[in-house]
Amino acid sequence: MTVCIDCRMIDASGIGVYHRESLPLLLQSKNDFLLLGNAKRLNCFIANENVKIIECDIKPFSLKELFFFPLKTARQINRADLFYSPNFNIPGLITIPVFSTIHDIIFPDMPELTSKIGLIIRIWFYRRAFKKSKKIFTVSEFSKSRIQHHLGTEKPVIVTYSGIQSMFLAYRANIQNVQKKQTIVFIGNIKKHKGLYLLIDAFRLAKSEGLPHRLIIIGAKENFRTADNAILKEIESLGGEAVTFTGFISNEQVMEHLSSAALLVQPSLYEGFCFPPLEAMVLGTQALISDIPVLKEIYSDFPVTFFHSGDSSDLKEKMMSLLNKKQSSPVLSNDLLLKYTFKKAAEVILRELND
């Protein structure tokens, strides 16, 4: 069987992690593969005898992808038996069976994140992917339930949990007795559903009670939009170096910050899966996370602390309690290592494609 895989988003953030980690495992199967994307970026896979590359620089979710997709490229794709997209964008002119991954369906659930026109467009893309796909993959039971709520139940929706990135496991294997610093780490973008404003409010309250720790935001201050000025002003009111933006940093630097931090805080209001708490546990750092349904689903069986979602006072209390206790680093359990692996995700995807 020949499978064409859309690799144009392999360097994206969360979706890119899922794709980069699962793709090499998919290629280990006995199938033949056509990889759609930037040939230079995908050249590392060309050594596989079962891999050929289809050069394509057309942006996902663009008008060109939908209505002006090159006929020559479409013909190359349609020589395969199946087309797999790791996101909910599907090029025009594809006539072979399609499988796709919808990581979350956040925009219908949180319409305030976009304009009315933006919401209509995104819902159209969701519905198009659902209609065209033989099967849908997603990354949690929560996302599955929301997909079925918004799009229907007539198509199979299969859960393929995300996993631990290989580089985090390799980094952990090479570090010993990391000296914890008086730092709290937040990893994520500045969109409302990530809950950074809750963390800033809780951190301000904690500082007023004498908390000596600094807050490190892994991201760039310049990414804040004009609408985020209120958060920026609150951060600036804390003064000094209480809050630090790292700007763009390497994966190695992210792991350094995370492994040496006293605490990771994940105040999300909405997620499809959410990597940072998993990565914190791998690197021996405590995680304080909101009790939204998906995070309860993913992390309830593991050594994390939950706070009431949307409640900055409870977040402050839990944060102070954890930081005032001298606790040993969380033990990385075999159960965690076995439950969340990209090998499992790839096996499920391959099984469904072959069926």
- In words, the CATH class of domain 167-338 is alpha beta
Q: What are phi and psi of 154, to 5 degrees?
A: -80, -10
Q: How far apart are CA 311 and CA 296, in angstroms?
A: 16
Domain ranges of the chain: 2-163+340-354, 167-338
260: number of CA atoms within 13 Å, CB side? 14
Q: Quote the pLDDT of residue 294.
A: 97
Q: What is the residue-level pLDDT of the chain in tens, covering all 355 positions? A: 999 999 999 988 788 999 999 999 999 999 999 999 999 999 999 988 999 999 999 999 999 999 999 999 999 999 999 999 999 999 999 999 999 999 999 999 999 999 999 999 999 999 999 999 999 999 999 999 999 999 999 999 999 999 999 999 999 888 877 889 999 999 987 778 899 989 999 999 999 999 999 999 987 655 555 445 667 777 777 776 888 888 888 999 999 999 999 999 999 999 999 999 999 999 999 999 999 999 999 999 999 999 999 999 999 999 999 998 866 666 667 788 889 999 999 999 999 999 8
Q: Residues 6 or more apart from 56 whose CB is under 8 A from it?
A: 8, 36, 37, 38, 73
Map tokens 């290592």 to a residue: 337
d(CA 2, CA 35): 11
Enter the pTM of the model: 0.92
Fold of domain 2-163+340-354:
Rossmann fold (3.40.50)
Say if 2-163+340-354 and 167-338 have the same CATH topology: yes
